[in-house]
Chain A
Amino acid sequence: MPENRLKVDARGIACPGPITELVKAYRNAKNGDIIEVMATDPGFKPDVEAWIKRTGNQLLELREEGGTYVAVIKVTAKK
């Protein structure tokens, strides 16, 4: 099956938090898919790092561009 690239725009979300948008995309993803999340909430960076560490998915890139965090994640840990 071809891999998908899922884009998630969570900019401006403070409540309940951009991590909820990542989880939503993760639910619909399959191993091999790429999820790209954009967020402005400063809590997003440590959250996404903790999420990667705990779930075992792969963080390809985490960068900041003018107040926006962009995380590029490869889904690998689904059983």
Chain B
Amino acid sequence: MKKRVVVIGGGAGGAILANNLPLEDFEVTVVDRSPYHYYWPWLLYVAFRGSRRPMRREIESLLKPGINFIQSGAQSVDLNNRKVVLEGGKTLDYDYLVIATGSRPTYGQIGGHEKAVEKYGDYHSTVENAERVWKSINSLKQGTFAVVVGGDPYRCPPSPLEGLFLAEEFFRSRGLRDRVRVVFAVPYPRPYPAEPMNEVVEPLLKERGVEYITFFTLDRIEDDRKVAVSMEGEELKYDALVVIPPHVGTDVKISPEDVLTTDRFIQADKYTNNIKGFDDAFVIGDASAVPVAKTGVTAHLQAEVVAKRLQGEDARNNGRTNCPFDLGYGLGTFVISDYRNPVVKLPPSRFSHMAKMLFAATYWDMVRYPELWNPIFEAYFDATEPAKLARIYV
């Protein structure tokens, strides 16, 4: 008898997991509310480069033949009785469950946030909002452009600074840099929260004349006065701004409820991705509360670990991150760390930027054909282990 695997979510984690399971042994069903899988990192280039490159594909086209796809949201999950109820009432029974529902921005925590997004856009939610950012930076001819980290967590730790770097490059390339002030505000003690990576990026901010405000925990946006106000009452004046929205976890009703954190991320073992207290249910990627960055690479590596575990192998996560980081002007770096090693101080290079773009170009193929790409990624991850890189980049 084939084991029935239900995967909720057809994004990076869910699709890669499904494609890694041998269909002789598993009956795999992927459910997703949307017919589309989005390559979210591209919102950055829609927002700050005006890119029109399509950034979504049909989920069905990314799954191997033989995998069932149901376009429906999951309404509730009953972990004790191994049942998933879909919107519309259909029930799926499973032997194994994988939740890969990602995270989503929330606009209720910061006063005036929703109105600000309607006006200036953002690049963590929708293509439409990213297009608003592009319009907003194109119409700003003088004054202050601010990027404000609104709260944690959010997808892709480097993304706030990536937007800032690309905006700075944009204004400079338009000859407006002497008239447009570029400001960055974060709630952390330094521009990038992890110290070693901050040592890479802070000199670039100084070199490019970007101002930054640390320890700024955004409380509200008063757009009539054009100020962002911190929780301690500090004010930041702007003419256009982009707020990085704090994200929350799944909107699927999950029983028992105590597997969820207060912001609806699902608690799991950081090595195996087993949902707390369940050996037949897993959570991968952004939806989980495990202490790793919310990024596609995490979802990808966790998907491979869970696929192996379902096949009886004792595979474990090592907490590896590998976040591509666009530094503007054709430069890039990667945020590389794992559970045992702190972030590597990888210097800016054209090669890292090229690697980021190469990855974006091959993304769909990589999701669809893990049998071809897994060995390539394994070789890459092995060659770039943080413990090895830390000996080179001190």
Contact = CB atoms under 8 A, between A and B. Distances in A.
Interface of A: 9-17, 19-21, 23-24, 26-28, 41, 43, 46-47, 50-51, 54-56, 77-79
A28 B106 CA distance: 14
The winner among A11, A13, A16, A26 for most chain B CB atoms within 10 A is: A16
Interface in B132-186: 151-153, 157
Given A19-B193, A21-B152, A78-B232, A14 B341 contact: yes
19 contacts: A10-B291, A13-B291, A14-B337, A14-B338, A15-B157, A15-B292, A17-B193, A19-B188, A19-B189, A20-B153, A23-B152, A24-B152, A26-B231, A27-B109, A27-B246, A50-B189, A54-B189, A54-B215, A56-B232
Interface residues on B, range: 35 or more
B288 interface: no
The winner among A9, A12, A14, A47 for most chain B CB atoms within 10 A is: A14
A79 B231 contact: yes
A56 B230 CA distance: 13
Contacts of B338: 14
The winner among B194, B246, B262 for most chain A CB atoms within 10 A is: B194
A77 B291 contact: no
A16 B321 CA distance: 10
B24 to A, nearest CB: 37
Given A23-B152, A24-B151, A24-B246, 14 more contacts: A14-B337, A14-B341, A14-B343, A15-B197, A16-B194, A23-B187, A26-B187, A27-B152, A27-B217, A47-B189, A54-B215, A55-B232, A77-B231, A79-B219
Nearest to B263: A24
Interface string B243-287: 000100000000000000011000000100000000000000000
Nearest to A50: B189
Contacts of B195: 17, 43
Contacts of A21: 152
B381 interface: no
Nearest to A27: B151
B193 A55 contact: no
Contacts of A24: 151-153, 246, 263
B319 A20 contact: no
Contacts of A27: 109, 151-152, 217, 231, 246
A26 B109 CA distance: 12
Nearest to B262: A28
A55 B162 CA distance: 26
A12 B340 CA distance: 8
Nearest to A13: B291
Nearest to A29: B231
Contacts of A23: 151-152, 187-188, 217
B65 to A, nearest CB: 37
Nearest to A17: B193
A79 B220 CA distance: 11
Nearest to A12: B291
A41 B188 CA distance: 15
